[in-house]
């Protein structure tokens, strides 16, 4: 019998290329720019927001302190503030801390909470007095963020500020202050200040402290007292 020849495959039509994004959403080589070029983008009033956001991200990768003034000017921008903060967070220079600290007195609401969170990440102890005052302010979200930032900063001064705030707060803010104090205790342990950490755990395990924090503090005491590496 004659063999049947299979039909030749039908050539597939080439897939159309996706359309190029509009100019305002094109990166334009930003990922390869140096700090000076990035600052020019941030300072140019005609630069699209997308490109400014990408420039902030690139500055974060470079951690260039030359960009601090330009980033500082964007901290109050409702669309670019978060990108400016992330750029500043990566810059290992005191000028970035100065910029974030200065913004504490000029911003409100979510923008201020973002600044406080960045300060907590950088553990800027110079901001502690302002944060301690904010815990007692009328904005509950700001108060809770300030407490958390103090906990991240840690140290004996933060412990004192948080203990003072605990007696003057209530509700969710008191819980945030207690949580932050627990973080301080863990930081004290990590720094080798065991006696101070145990004293703080002790104060957090007393009646009046929110139950989750009280139980965590008790566990901290038990863990340290039963550890084989504890001082004898």
> Cα separation of 93 and 179, whole Å?
29
Q: What is the mean pLDDT of residues 168-174?
A: 96
Q: Give the chain's length.
A: 232
Q: Read off the tokens for 37.
A: 């070029």
pTM to 2 decimal places: 0.85
Per-residue confidence at 29, pLDDT binned at 50, 70, 90?
Answer: confident
pLDDT at 42 over 60: yes
pLDDT digits (tens, 9 = 90+) for 129-154: 999 999 999 999 999 999 999 999 99
- The two tokens of residue 169 are 């707060």
Distance (Å, whole) CA 103 – CA 99: 6
């Amino acid at each position: 019998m004659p063999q049947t020849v299979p039909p030749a495959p039908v050539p597939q039509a080439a897939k159309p290329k996706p359309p190029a994004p509009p100019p305002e959403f094109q990166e334009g080589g930003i990922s390869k720019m140096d700090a000076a070029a990035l600052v020019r983008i941030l300072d140019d009033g005609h630069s699209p927001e997308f490109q400014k956001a990408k420039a902030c991200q690139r500055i974060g990768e470079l951690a260039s302190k030359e960009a601090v003034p330009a980033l500082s000017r964007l901290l109050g921008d409702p669309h670019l503030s978060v990108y400016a903060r992330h750029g500043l967070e990566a810059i290992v220079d005191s000028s970035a801390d100065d910029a974030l600290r200065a913004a504490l007195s000029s911003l409100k609401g979510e923008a201020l909470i973002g600044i406080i969170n960045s300060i907590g990440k950088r553990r800027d102890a110079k901001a502690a007095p302002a944060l301690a005052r904010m815990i007692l302010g009328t904005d509950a979200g700001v108060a809770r963020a300030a407490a958390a930032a103090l906990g991240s900063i840690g140290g004996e001064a933060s412990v004192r500020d948080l203990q003072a705030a605990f007696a003057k707060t209530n509700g969710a803010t008191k819980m945030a202050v207690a949580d932050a104090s627990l973080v301080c205790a863990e930081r004290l342990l990590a720094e080798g200040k065991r006696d101070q950490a145990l004293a703080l755990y002790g104060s957090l395990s007393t009646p009046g402290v929110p139950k989750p924090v009280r139980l965590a503090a008790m566990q901290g005491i038990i863990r340290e007292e039963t550890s084989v590496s504890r001082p004898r």
